Protein backbone atom coordinates (compact mmCIF):
# COMPACT_ATOMS: atom_id res chain seq x y z
CA UNK A 1 0.00 0.00 0.00
CA UNK A 2 2.85 2.36 0.89
CA UNK A 3 4.35 1.85 -2.53
CA UNK A 4 1.10 2.52 -4.34
CA UNK A 5 0.59 5.76 -2.42
CA UNK A 6 4.17 7.02 -2.43
CA UNK A 7 4.93 6.16 -6.04
CA UNK A 8 2.69 8.70 -7.82
CA UNK A 9 3.10 11.29 -5.08
CA UNK A 10 6.87 11.25 -5.08
CA UNK A 11 6.90 11.35 -8.88
CA UNK A 12 4.96 14.58 -8.87
CA UNK A 13 6.92 16.15 -6.01
CA UNK A 14 10.32 15.30 -7.45
CA UNK A 15 9.40 16.50 -10.94
CA UNK A 16 7.99 19.76 -9.60
CA UNK A 17 10.27 20.65 -6.68
CA UNK A 18 13.85 19.26 -7.06
CA UNK A 19 16.38 22.06 -7.16
CA UNK A 20 19.76 20.34 -6.87
CA UNK A 21 22.04 18.70 -9.39
CA UNK A 22 21.42 15.22 -10.72
CA UNK A 23 24.45 13.65 -8.97
CA UNK A 24 23.63 15.27 -5.61
CA UNK A 25 20.00 14.25 -6.04
CA UNK A 26 20.91 10.61 -6.40
CA UNK A 27 23.09 10.72 -3.31
CA UNK A 28 20.32 12.39 -1.33
CA UNK A 29 17.75 9.96 -2.68
CA UNK A 30 19.91 6.99 -1.72
CA UNK A 31 20.24 8.28 1.85
CA UNK A 32 16.61 9.37 2.12
CA UNK A 33 15.42 6.13 0.57
CA UNK A 34 16.81 3.97 3.35
CA UNK A 35 15.22 6.29 5.95
CA UNK A 36 11.86 6.36 4.14
CA UNK A 37 11.80 2.57 3.86
CA UNK A 38 12.45 2.25 7.59
CA UNK A 39 9.61 4.70 8.34
CA UNK A 40 7.29 2.82 5.98
CA UNK A 41 8.10 -0.48 7.66
CA UNK A 42 7.44 0.99 11.11
CA UNK A 43 4.16 2.48 9.87
CA UNK A 44 3.10 -0.85 8.40
CA UNK A 45 3.88 -2.73 11.62
CA UNK A 46 1.99 -0.11 13.62
CA UNK A 47 -1.03 -0.32 11.33
CA UNK A 48 -1.16 -4.11 11.64
CA UNK A 49 -0.96 -4.01 15.40
CA UNK A 50 -3.51 -1.30 16.03
CA UNK A 51 -6.61 -3.33 14.98
CA UNK A 52 -9.48 -0.92 14.39
CA UNK A 53 -7.57 2.23 15.30
CA UNK A 54 -6.70 5.06 12.93
CA UNK A 55 -3.41 4.03 11.37
CA UNK A 56 -3.07 7.08 9.14
CA UNK A 57 -0.95 8.95 11.67
CA UNK A 58 2.20 7.04 10.70
CA UNK A 59 1.64 7.81 7.04
CA UNK A 60 1.09 11.48 7.71
CA UNK A 61 4.16 11.76 9.95
CA UNK A 62 6.34 10.50 7.10
CA UNK A 63 5.53 13.66 5.17
CA UNK A 64 6.46 16.09 7.95
CA UNK A 65 9.65 18.12 7.85
CA UNK A 66 11.08 21.59 7.74
CA UNK A 67 9.43 23.13 4.71
CA UNK A 68 9.67 21.56 1.29
CA UNK A 69 13.19 20.25 1.94
CA UNK A 70 11.94 18.27 4.93
CA UNK A 71 9.08 16.97 2.85
CA UNK A 72 11.43 15.99 0.04
CA UNK A 73 13.92 14.27 2.33
CA UNK A 74 11.25 11.86 3.54
CA UNK A 75 10.46 10.46 0.08
CA UNK A 76 12.35 8.20 -2.28
CA UNK A 77 11.69 8.78 -5.98
CA UNK A 78 9.96 5.84 -7.56
CA UNK A 79 11.20 3.95 -10.65
CA UNK A 80 8.55 5.65 -12.78
CA UNK A 81 10.35 8.96 -12.23
CA UNK A 82 13.50 7.63 -13.85
CA UNK A 83 11.44 6.16 -16.68
CA UNK A 84 9.86 9.56 -17.24
CA UNK A 85 13.24 10.96 -18.21
CA UNK A 86 13.13 8.74 -21.26
CA UNK A 87 10.24 10.86 -22.54
CA UNK A 88 7.56 8.27 -21.78
CA UNK A 89 4.30 9.99 -22.84
CA UNK A 90 2.06 8.54 -20.10
CA UNK A 91 2.13 7.08 -16.60
CA UNK A 92 -1.05 5.14 -17.32
CA UNK A 93 -0.49 2.66 -14.53
CA UNK A 94 -0.54 5.32 -11.85
CA UNK A 95 -3.09 7.63 -13.44
CA UNK A 96 -0.64 10.47 -14.19
CA UNK A 97 -0.57 12.27 -17.51
CA UNK A 98 2.59 13.80 -18.97
CA UNK A 99 2.02 17.07 -20.79
CA UNK A 100 4.68 17.80 -23.40
CA UNK A 101 6.03 21.30 -23.11
CA UNK A 102 7.37 23.43 -25.92
CA UNK A 103 11.11 24.05 -26.11
CA UNK A 104 10.80 27.66 -24.96
CA UNK A 105 8.54 26.77 -22.10
CA UNK A 106 10.84 23.93 -21.00
CA UNK A 107 13.85 26.28 -21.02
CA UNK A 108 11.95 28.86 -19.01
CA UNK A 109 10.89 26.19 -16.54
CA UNK A 110 14.48 24.97 -16.39
CA UNK A 111 15.85 28.39 -15.50
CA UNK A 112 13.14 29.01 -12.90
CA UNK A 113 13.74 25.75 -11.06
CA UNK A 114 17.51 25.69 -11.68
CA UNK A 115 17.34 22.12 -12.87
CA UNK A 116 20.21 21.30 -15.27
CA UNK A 117 18.90 17.76 -15.66
CA UNK A 118 15.68 18.88 -17.33
CA UNK A 119 16.35 19.46 -20.99
CA UNK A 120 14.17 21.34 -23.43
CA UNK A 121 11.38 19.31 -24.91
CA UNK A 122 11.18 16.98 -21.90
CA UNK A 123 7.85 16.14 -20.26
CA UNK A 124 6.59 17.26 -16.85
CA UNK A 125 4.27 15.15 -14.69
CA UNK A 126 1.03 16.59 -13.29
CA UNK A 127 -1.70 14.85 -11.32
CA UNK A 128 -4.97 14.47 -13.17
CA UNK A 129 -7.89 12.03 -13.25
CA UNK A 130 -7.62 8.40 -12.07
CA UNK A 131 -6.74 5.73 -14.60
CA UNK A 132 -9.59 4.72 -16.91
CA UNK A 133 -9.91 1.09 -15.76
CA UNK A 134 -10.85 2.31 -12.25
CA UNK A 135 -13.49 4.71 -13.57
CA UNK A 136 -14.98 2.07 -15.83
CA UNK A 137 -15.21 -0.37 -12.95
CA UNK A 138 -17.08 2.17 -10.81
CA UNK A 139 -19.57 2.87 -13.59
CA UNK A 140 -20.16 -0.85 -14.05
CA UNK A 141 -20.90 -1.25 -10.34
CA UNK A 142 -23.21 1.76 -10.35
CA UNK A 143 -25.36 0.22 -13.08
CA UNK A 144 -25.86 -2.90 -11.01
CA UNK A 145 -27.32 -1.13 -7.96
CA UNK A 146 -31.07 -0.58 -7.87
CA UNK A 147 -32.88 1.57 -5.30
CA UNK A 148 -35.99 0.38 -3.47
CA UNK A 149 -38.48 2.33 -1.37
CA UNK A 150 -38.91 0.30 1.83
CA UNK A 151 -40.41 2.83 4.26
CA UNK A 152 -42.50 6.00 4.35
CA UNK A 153 -43.23 8.56 7.06
CA UNK A 154 -45.45 11.64 6.94
CA UNK A 155 -46.69 14.46 9.12
CA UNK A 156 -49.49 16.25 7.22
CA UNK A 157 -52.77 18.13 7.68
CA UNK A 158 -54.53 14.88 6.63
CA UNK A 159 -52.81 12.51 9.03
CA UNK A 160 -49.48 11.22 10.23
CA UNK A 161 -49.68 7.69 8.87
CA UNK A 162 -49.09 6.97 5.16
CA UNK A 163 -52.25 4.85 4.86
CA UNK A 164 -54.49 7.29 6.76
CA UNK A 165 -53.05 10.16 4.75
CA UNK A 166 -53.66 8.45 1.41
CA UNK A 167 -57.13 7.20 2.27
CA UNK A 168 -58.12 10.80 3.04
CA UNK A 169 -56.72 11.86 -0.32
CA UNK A 170 -58.68 9.12 -2.09
CA UNK A 171 -61.85 10.31 -0.36
CA UNK A 172 -61.25 13.91 -1.47
CA UNK A 173 -60.96 15.27 2.08
CA UNK A 174 -59.55 18.79 2.37
CA UNK A 175 -57.02 19.67 5.04
CA UNK A 176 -57.33 23.42 4.50
CA UNK A 177 -58.90 25.41 7.34
CA UNK A 178 -58.68 28.66 9.28
CA UNK A 179 -55.38 29.31 11.03
CA UNK A 180 -55.57 28.71 14.78
CA UNK A 181 -51.93 28.93 15.88
CA UNK A 182 -51.94 32.73 16.07
CA UNK A 183 -54.23 35.71 15.55
CA UNK A 184 -54.19 36.59 11.86
CA UNK A 185 -57.35 38.70 11.76
CA UNK A 186 -55.46 41.60 10.18
CA UNK A 187 -53.99 39.50 7.37
CA UNK A 188 -55.69 39.31 3.96
CA UNK A 189 -55.06 35.53 4.07
CA UNK A 190 -56.26 33.66 7.16
CA UNK A 191 -56.29 30.05 5.95
CA UNK A 192 -53.69 27.29 5.60
CA UNK A 193 -53.08 23.56 5.60
CA UNK A 194 -52.33 23.71 9.30
CA UNK A 195 -51.59 20.66 11.44
CA UNK A 196 -54.07 20.84 14.30
CA UNK A 197 -53.02 17.84 16.33
CA UNK A 198 -49.43 16.72 16.66
CA UNK A 199 -47.49 14.89 19.36
CA UNK A 200 -43.84 13.87 19.55
CA UNK A 201 -44.48 11.32 22.32
CA UNK A 202 -42.41 8.22 21.69
CA UNK A 203 -40.48 9.89 18.89
CA UNK A 204 -38.58 12.87 20.35
CA UNK A 205 -37.18 13.41 23.85
CA UNK A 206 -39.36 15.84 25.87
CA UNK A 207 -36.46 18.23 26.54
CA UNK A 208 -35.75 18.59 22.83
CA UNK A 209 -39.45 18.94 22.03
CA UNK A 210 -39.58 22.13 24.06
CA UNK A 211 -36.57 23.71 22.40
CA UNK A 212 -36.73 22.65 18.76
CA UNK A 213 -38.48 24.39 15.91
CA UNK A 214 -41.51 22.56 14.55
CA UNK A 215 -39.79 21.83 11.27
CA UNK A 216 -37.26 19.72 13.17
CA UNK A 217 -39.93 17.99 15.25
CA UNK A 218 -41.88 17.13 12.10
CA UNK A 219 -38.68 15.89 10.46
CA UNK A 220 -37.59 13.67 13.37
CA UNK A 221 -41.06 12.21 13.76
CA UNK A 222 -41.54 11.50 10.04
CA UNK A 223 -38.03 10.05 9.81
CA UNK A 224 -38.56 7.62 12.65
CA UNK A 225 -42.00 6.71 11.35
CA UNK A 226 -40.38 5.85 8.01
CA UNK A 227 -37.94 3.54 9.80
CA UNK A 228 -40.74 1.86 11.73
CA UNK A 229 -42.77 1.52 8.53
CA UNK A 230 -39.74 -0.08 6.89
CA UNK A 231 -39.42 -2.72 9.59
CA UNK A 232 -36.21 -1.26 11.01
CA UNK A 233 -36.65 -2.33 14.63
CA UNK A 234 -34.09 -1.85 17.39
CA UNK A 235 -32.74 -5.30 16.61
CA UNK A 236 -32.41 -4.57 12.90
CA UNK A 237 -30.88 -1.17 13.66
CA UNK A 238 -28.21 -2.76 15.85
CA UNK A 239 -27.16 -5.07 13.01
CA UNK A 240 -26.83 -2.39 10.32
CA UNK A 241 -23.48 -1.11 9.10
CA UNK A 242 -24.11 2.42 10.30
CA UNK A 243 -21.20 3.81 8.32
CA UNK A 244 -23.27 3.01 5.23
CA UNK A 245 -26.53 4.58 6.43
CA UNK A 246 -27.22 8.27 5.84
CA UNK A 247 -29.75 11.09 6.23
CA UNK A 248 -30.56 13.74 3.64
CA UNK A 249 -33.64 15.72 4.65
CA UNK A 250 -33.95 19.37 3.69
CA UNK A 251 -36.07 22.41 4.39
CA UNK A 252 -36.95 25.48 2.36
CA UNK A 253 -37.45 27.82 5.31
CA UNK A 254 -35.63 26.17 8.23
CA UNK A 255 -36.26 27.12 11.85
CA UNK A 256 -38.11 30.37 11.23
CA UNK A 257 -39.86 30.48 14.61
CA UNK A 258 -36.68 29.78 16.59
CA UNK A 259 -34.90 32.55 14.69
CA UNK A 260 -37.83 34.95 15.02
CA UNK A 261 -38.03 34.31 18.78
CA UNK A 262 -34.31 35.03 19.07
CA UNK A 263 -34.78 38.41 17.38
CA UNK A 264 -37.59 39.28 19.77
CA UNK A 265 -35.42 38.27 22.74
CA UNK A 266 -32.55 40.37 21.41
CA UNK A 267 -34.77 43.45 21.63
CA UNK A 268 -34.48 43.03 25.39
CA UNK A 269 -30.93 41.68 25.68
CA UNK A 270 -28.68 39.10 24.09
CA UNK A 271 -28.74 37.40 27.50
CA UNK A 272 -32.36 36.51 26.88
CA UNK A 273 -31.60 34.65 23.68
CA UNK A 274 -31.99 30.91 23.41
CA UNK A 275 -28.46 29.42 23.24
CA UNK A 276 -29.81 26.91 20.71
CA UNK A 277 -31.20 29.58 18.38
CA UNK A 278 -28.44 29.26 15.80
CA UNK A 279 -28.15 25.45 15.49
CA UNK A 280 -31.92 24.92 15.73
CA UNK A 281 -32.59 27.50 13.02
CA UNK A 282 -30.26 26.03 10.40
CA UNK A 283 -31.70 23.67 7.79
CA UNK A 284 -29.00 21.00 8.14
CA UNK A 285 -29.52 20.39 11.84
CA UNK A 286 -32.64 18.27 11.39
CA UNK A 287 -30.69 15.68 9.38
CA UNK A 288 -27.82 15.93 11.85
CA UNK A 289 -30.02 15.38 14.92
CA UNK A 290 -31.73 12.38 13.35
CA UNK A 291 -28.36 10.86 12.46
CA UNK A 292 -27.09 11.44 16.02
CA UNK A 293 -30.16 9.73 17.39
CA UNK A 294 -29.70 6.71 15.13
CA UNK A 295 -25.90 6.63 15.12
CA UNK A 296 -25.87 6.73 11.31
CA UNK A 297 -22.46 7.83 10.10
CA UNK A 298 -22.95 7.82 6.32
CA UNK A 299 -23.77 10.82 4.07
CA UNK A 300 -25.46 13.50 6.13
CA UNK A 301 -26.49 16.96 4.96
CA UNK A 302 -29.48 18.95 3.75
CA UNK A 303 -30.40 20.71 0.53
CA UNK A 304 -32.49 23.86 0.29
CA UNK A 305 -33.94 24.66 -3.13
CA UNK A 306 -37.19 26.33 -2.10
CA UNK A 307 -40.24 24.22 -2.96
CA UNK A 308 -38.15 21.73 -4.96
CA UNK A 309 -36.13 20.81 -1.86
CA UNK A 310 -37.54 17.33 -1.23
CA UNK A 311 -37.02 16.08 -4.76
CA UNK A 312 -33.43 17.29 -4.73
CA UNK A 313 -32.86 15.42 -1.48
CA UNK A 314 -34.52 12.22 -2.72
CA UNK A 315 -32.56 12.10 -5.97
CA UNK A 316 -29.24 12.85 -4.30
CA UNK A 317 -29.92 10.23 -1.62
CA UNK A 318 -30.68 7.67 -4.32
CA UNK A 319 -27.44 8.57 -6.07
CA UNK A 320 -25.45 7.82 -2.91
CA UNK A 321 -26.91 4.32 -3.00
CA UNK A 322 -26.42 3.90 -6.75
CA UNK A 323 -22.74 4.91 -6.43
CA UNK A 324 -22.24 2.38 -3.66
CA UNK A 325 -21.67 4.98 -0.93
CA UNK A 326 -24.63 3.90 1.21
CA UNK A 327 -26.99 0.98 1.75
CA UNK A 328 -29.80 3.02 3.33
CA UNK A 329 -30.83 6.67 3.16
CA UNK A 330 -33.59 8.56 4.93
CA UNK A 331 -34.53 11.43 2.65
CA UNK A 332 -37.22 14.05 2.11
CA UNK A 333 -38.18 17.47 3.44
CA UNK A 334 -39.84 19.37 6.26
CA UNK A 335 -41.23 22.87 6.76
CA UNK A 336 -43.27 24.72 9.37
CA UNK A 337 -43.69 28.30 8.17
CA UNK A 338 -47.27 28.96 9.29
CA UNK A 339 -46.22 31.69 11.72
CA UNK A 340 -46.73 35.47 11.47
CA UNK A 341 -43.47 36.18 9.63
CA UNK A 342 -44.00 33.26 7.25
CA UNK A 343 -47.60 34.15 6.42
CA UNK A 344 -46.74 37.84 6.18
CA UNK A 345 -43.84 37.20 3.83
CA UNK A 346 -45.91 35.26 1.31
CA UNK A 347 -48.77 37.76 1.60
CA UNK A 348 -46.31 40.56 0.81
CA UNK A 349 -45.28 38.88 -2.45
CA UNK A 350 -48.95 38.34 -3.36
CA UNK A 351 -48.66 34.59 -3.73
CA UNK A 352 -51.47 33.38 -1.46
CA UNK A 353 -55.15 32.71 -2.01
CA UNK A 354 -57.53 35.00 -0.14
CA UNK A 355 -60.58 32.72 -0.28
CA UNK A 356 -61.03 32.96 3.48
CA UNK A 357 -64.80 32.40 3.45
CA UNK A 358 -64.47 28.86 2.05
CA UNK A 359 -61.07 27.39 3.02
CA UNK A 360 -61.75 23.89 1.68
CA UNK A 361 -62.21 25.30 -1.84
CA UNK A 362 -59.28 27.72 -1.76
CA UNK A 363 -56.70 25.44 -3.37
CA UNK A 364 -57.96 24.72 -6.89
CA UNK A 365 -55.25 23.80 -9.41
CA UNK A 366 -56.15 24.37 -13.10
CA UNK A 367 -59.47 25.99 -12.17
CA UNK A 368 -60.17 29.35 -13.81
CA UNK A 369 -60.99 30.88 -10.40
CA UNK A 370 -57.68 29.99 -8.75
CA UNK A 371 -56.15 33.00 -7.01
CA UNK A 372 -52.92 31.77 -5.43
CA UNK A 373 -51.59 28.86 -3.41
CA UNK A 374 -52.50 27.90 0.14
CA UNK A 375 -49.66 27.47 2.65
CA UNK A 376 -49.27 24.10 4.31
CA UNK A 377 -46.89 22.52 6.80
CA UNK A 378 -45.53 19.09 7.59
CA UNK A 379 -42.87 16.59 6.60
CA UNK A 380 -42.36 13.59 4.35
CA UNK A 381 -39.54 11.06 4.56
CA UNK A 382 -38.72 8.04 2.40
CA UNK A 383 -36.50 5.15 3.41
CA UNK A 384 -34.48 4.33 0.29
CA UNK A 385 -32.43 1.17 0.26
CA UNK A 386 -30.13 -0.80 -1.98
CA UNK A 387 -32.40 -3.45 -3.48
CA UNK A 388 -30.15 -6.39 -2.61
CA UNK A 389 -29.70 -5.09 0.93
CA UNK A 390 -33.48 -4.79 1.30
CA UNK A 391 -34.05 -8.31 -0.01
CA UNK A 392 -31.47 -9.79 2.35
CA UNK A 393 -33.21 -8.37 5.42
CA UNK A 394 -36.65 -9.35 4.13
CA UNK A 395 -37.98 -5.81 3.79
CA UNK A 396 -41.28 -5.02 2.09
CA UNK A 397 -40.55 -3.21 -1.17
CA UNK A 398 -43.22 -0.60 -1.90
CA UNK A 399 -41.80 0.66 -5.18
CA UNK A 400 -38.58 1.17 -7.06
CA UNK A 401 -36.87 4.50 -7.56
CA UNK A 402 -36.21 4.79 -11.28
CA UNK A 403 -34.39 8.11 -11.64
CA UNK A 404 -34.82 11.85 -11.92
CA UNK A 405 -33.28 15.14 -12.95
CA UNK A 406 -32.79 18.81 -12.03
CA UNK A 407 -32.70 21.91 -14.22
CA UNK A 408 -32.87 25.67 -13.79
CA UNK A 409 -35.09 28.12 -15.67
CA UNK A 410 -32.44 30.85 -15.34
CA UNK A 411 -35.24 33.29 -15.99
CA UNK A 412 -36.95 34.89 -12.94
CA UNK A 413 -36.95 34.61 -9.14
CA UNK A 414 -40.60 33.63 -8.80
CA UNK A 415 -42.12 33.32 -12.29
CA UNK A 416 -41.78 30.20 -14.45
CA UNK A 417 -40.17 30.41 -17.85
CA UNK A 418 -42.89 31.65 -20.28
CA UNK A 419 -42.34 28.69 -22.60
CA UNK A 420 -41.86 26.11 -19.83
CA UNK A 421 -38.40 25.39 -21.26
CA UNK A 422 -36.83 24.40 -17.94
CA UNK A 423 -39.67 22.02 -17.04
CA UNK A 424 -39.59 20.30 -20.42
CA UNK A 425 -35.82 19.94 -20.28
CA UNK A 426 -36.03 18.48 -16.76
CA UNK A 427 -38.64 15.86 -17.68
CA UNK A 428 -36.95 14.86 -20.93
CA UNK A 429 -33.52 14.53 -19.30
CA UNK A 430 -34.99 12.43 -16.48
CA UNK A 431 -36.44 10.04 -19.04
CA UNK A 432 -33.47 9.88 -21.38
CA UNK A 433 -30.75 9.57 -18.74
CA UNK A 434 -32.46 6.58 -17.17
CA UNK A 435 -33.68 4.98 -20.38
CA UNK A 436 -37.42 5.31 -19.71
CA UNK A 437 -39.82 5.53 -22.65
CA UNK A 438 -42.27 8.40 -22.40
CA UNK A 439 -45.18 6.13 -23.36
CA UNK A 440 -44.52 4.13 -20.17
CA UNK A 441 -45.24 7.16 -17.97
CA UNK A 442 -48.98 6.99 -17.29
CA UNK A 443 -49.26 8.88 -13.99
CA UNK A 444 -48.02 12.32 -13.00
CA UNK A 445 -48.32 13.84 -9.55
CA UNK A 446 -48.01 17.45 -10.65
CA UNK A 447 -46.48 20.36 -8.78
CA UNK A 448 -49.64 22.40 -9.63
CA UNK A 449 -49.95 24.86 -6.74
CA UNK A 450 -53.11 26.74 -7.79
CA UNK A 451 -51.31 29.79 -9.18
CA UNK A 452 -52.40 31.35 -12.50
CA UNK A 453 -49.07 31.06 -14.35
CA UNK A 454 -47.49 28.02 -12.72
CA UNK A 455 -50.36 25.57 -13.28
CA UNK A 456 -50.66 26.42 -16.95
CA UNK A 457 -46.94 26.23 -17.77
CA UNK A 458 -46.60 22.84 -16.14
CA UNK A 459 -49.71 21.54 -17.90
CA UNK A 460 -48.35 22.67 -21.26
CA UNK A 461 -45.03 20.98 -20.55
CA UNK A 462 -46.77 17.72 -19.60
CA UNK A 463 -48.92 17.88 -22.73
CA UNK A 464 -45.85 18.35 -24.89
CA UNK A 465 -43.96 15.47 -23.24
CA UNK A 466 -46.81 12.95 -22.80
CA UNK A 467 -49.76 14.30 -24.76
CA UNK A 468 -49.81 11.29 -27.10
CA UNK A 469 -50.37 8.82 -24.24
CA UNK A 470 -54.11 8.06 -23.90
CA UNK A 471 -53.53 6.37 -20.52
CA UNK A 472 -51.95 9.43 -18.88
CA UNK A 473 -53.58 10.63 -15.65
CA UNK A 474 -52.52 13.80 -13.82
CA UNK A 475 -53.50 15.09 -10.39
CA UNK A 476 -52.38 17.55 -7.73
CA UNK A 477 -52.11 16.56 -4.07
CA UNK A 478 -51.97 20.27 -3.20
CA UNK A 479 -55.67 20.61 -3.99
CA UNK A 480 -56.30 18.97 -0.60
CA UNK A 481 -53.33 19.76 1.65
CA UNK A 482 -52.05 23.03 0.21
CA UNK A 483 -48.41 23.75 -0.53
CA UNK A 484 -46.05 22.31 2.09
CA UNK A 485 -43.12 24.29 0.64
CA UNK A 486 -39.90 22.29 1.06
CA UNK A 487 -41.83 19.27 2.34
CA UNK A 488 -44.25 19.12 -0.58
CA UNK A 489 -42.13 16.95 -2.88
CA UNK A 490 -41.60 14.23 -0.27
CA UNK A 491 -45.24 14.14 0.81
CA UNK A 492 -46.28 13.96 -2.84
CA UNK A 493 -43.71 11.22 -3.42
CA UNK A 494 -45.50 9.23 -0.69
CA UNK A 495 -48.81 9.83 -2.50
CA UNK A 496 -47.18 8.70 -5.76
CA UNK A 497 -45.85 5.50 -4.21
CA UNK A 498 -49.23 4.83 -2.61
CA UNK A 499 -50.82 5.12 -6.04
CA UNK A 500 -48.41 2.47 -7.31
CA UNK A 501 -49.18 0.20 -4.35
CA UNK A 502 -52.96 0.53 -4.36
CA UNK A 503 -53.71 0.95 -8.06
CA UNK A 504 -55.80 4.02 -7.19
CA UNK A 505 -55.07 7.69 -7.96
CA UNK A 506 -56.65 10.40 -5.87
CA UNK A 507 -59.00 13.05 -7.33
CA UNK A 508 -58.43 16.70 -8.13
CA UNK A 509 -60.87 18.54 -5.91
CA UNK A 510 -62.25 22.01 -6.64
CA UNK A 511 -61.75 21.66 -10.39
CA UNK A 512 -65.20 23.07 -11.08
CA UNK A 513 -64.50 25.43 -13.97
CA UNK A 514 -61.34 24.32 -15.79
CA UNK A 515 -59.07 26.90 -17.39
CA UNK A 516 -59.90 27.23 -21.09
CA UNK A 517 -56.28 26.36 -21.97
CA UNK A 518 -56.48 23.03 -20.16
CA UNK A 519 -57.77 19.81 -21.69
CA UNK A 520 -59.30 17.91 -18.77
CA UNK A 521 -59.04 14.57 -20.58
CA UNK A 522 -55.69 13.89 -18.92
CA UNK A 523 -56.71 15.21 -15.49
CA UNK A 524 -58.16 12.97 -12.81
CA UNK A 525 -61.75 13.96 -12.08
CA UNK A 526 -63.52 14.70 -8.80
CA UNK A 527 -63.45 11.02 -7.75
CA UNK A 528 -60.60 8.54 -7.31
CA UNK A 529 -59.77 6.41 -10.32
CA UNK A 530 -58.28 2.95 -10.85
CA UNK A 531 -54.95 2.94 -12.64
CA UNK A 532 -52.31 0.29 -13.17
CA UNK A 533 -49.31 2.57 -12.79
CA UNK A 534 -46.39 1.63 -15.05
CA UNK A 535 -44.09 4.58 -14.36
CA UNK A 536 -45.00 7.55 -12.17
CA UNK A 537 -43.51 11.03 -12.37
CA UNK A 538 -43.55 13.52 -9.48
CA UNK A 539 -42.70 17.16 -10.21
CA UNK A 540 -41.56 19.92 -7.86
CA UNK A 541 -40.51 23.46 -8.79
CA UNK A 542 -39.21 26.27 -6.60
CA UNK A 543 -38.52 29.98 -6.42
CA UNK A 544 -35.26 30.65 -8.20
CA UNK A 545 -36.27 28.60 -11.21
CA UNK A 546 -35.43 25.22 -9.66
CA UNK A 547 -37.05 22.31 -11.51
CA UNK A 548 -37.02 18.70 -10.36
CA UNK A 549 -38.61 15.49 -11.60
CA UNK A 550 -38.34 12.06 -9.98
CA UNK A 551 -39.57 8.71 -11.26
CA UNK A 552 -40.96 5.67 -9.46
CA UNK A 553 -42.32 2.36 -10.69
CA UNK A 554 -43.61 -0.92 -9.31
CA UNK A 555 -40.92 -3.35 -8.19
CA UNK A 556 -40.58 -6.18 -10.68
Which residues are annotated as catalytic?
307, 447, 483
The helix (H) or strand (E) run that includes residue 13 is helix 2-17
Is residue 399 within 8 A of residue 503, CB to CB? The reply is no
Pairing assessment for the beta strands 123-127 and 96-100 based on DSSP bridges: antiparallel
Facing residues of 399 across strands?
Answer: 149
Is residue 125 within 8 A of residue 15, CB to CB? The reply is yes
The closest of 495, 521, 189 to 357, measured between CA atoms, is 189
Total count of residues recorded for the chain: 556
User: What is the distance between the alpha carbons of residues 259 and 252, in angstroms, rounded to a whole number?
Assistant: 14
**Cβ of 456: how many Cβ atoms within 10 Å?**
18
How wide is the angle at C-alpha 408 spanned by C-alphas 403 and 411, nearest 5°? 155
The helix (H) or strand (E) run that includes residue 34 is helix 22-49
Q: What is the dihedral of CA 111, 115, 121, 126, to 10 degrees?
A: -100
User: What is the distance between the alpha carbons of residues 435 and 319, in angstroms, rounded to a whole number?
Assistant: 16
Main-chain phi, psi angles of 334, to 5 degrees: -150, 140
Q: How many C-alpha atoms does 249 have within 13 Å on its Cβ side?
A: 40
User: What is the distance between the alpha carbons of residues 20 and 199, in angstroms, rounded to a whole number?
Assistant: 72
Facing residues of 385 across strands?
Answer: 148, 328
**Cβ of 438: how many Cβ atoms within 10 Å?**
17
Contacts of the segment 66-69: beta carbons below 8 A, 24+ positions apart: 68/17
Burial 341-354 (b: 16+ CB within 10 A, else e): ebbeebbeeebbbe
Is residue 380 within 8 A of residue 490, CB to CB? The reply is yes
The closest of 551, 392, 365 to 458, measured between CA atoms, is 365
Main-chain phi, psi angles of 308, to 5 degrees: -100, 5
The closest of 298, 288, 358 to 327, measured between CA atoms, is 298
The closest of 553, 309, 278 to 436, measured between CA atoms, is 553
How many angstroms separate the Cα of 250 from the Cα of each of 223, 281, 284? 12, 12, 7
Amino acid sequence: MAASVASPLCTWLVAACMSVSCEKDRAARSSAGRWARRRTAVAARGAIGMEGRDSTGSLISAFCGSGIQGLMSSLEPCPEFYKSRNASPFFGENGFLLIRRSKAEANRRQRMLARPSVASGKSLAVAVEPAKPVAEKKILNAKQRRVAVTGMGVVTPLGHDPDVFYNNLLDGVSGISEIEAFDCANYPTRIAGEIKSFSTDGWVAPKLSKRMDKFMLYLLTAGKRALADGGVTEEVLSQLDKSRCGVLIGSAMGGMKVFNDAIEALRVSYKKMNPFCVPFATTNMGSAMLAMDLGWMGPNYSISTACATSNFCILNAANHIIRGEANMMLCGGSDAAIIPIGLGGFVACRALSQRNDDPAKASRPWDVDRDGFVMGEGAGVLLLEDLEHAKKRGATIYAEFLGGCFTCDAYHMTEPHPEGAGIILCIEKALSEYGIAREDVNYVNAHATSTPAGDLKEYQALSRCFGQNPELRVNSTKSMIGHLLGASGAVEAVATIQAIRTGLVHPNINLENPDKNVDTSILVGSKKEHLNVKVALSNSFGFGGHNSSILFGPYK
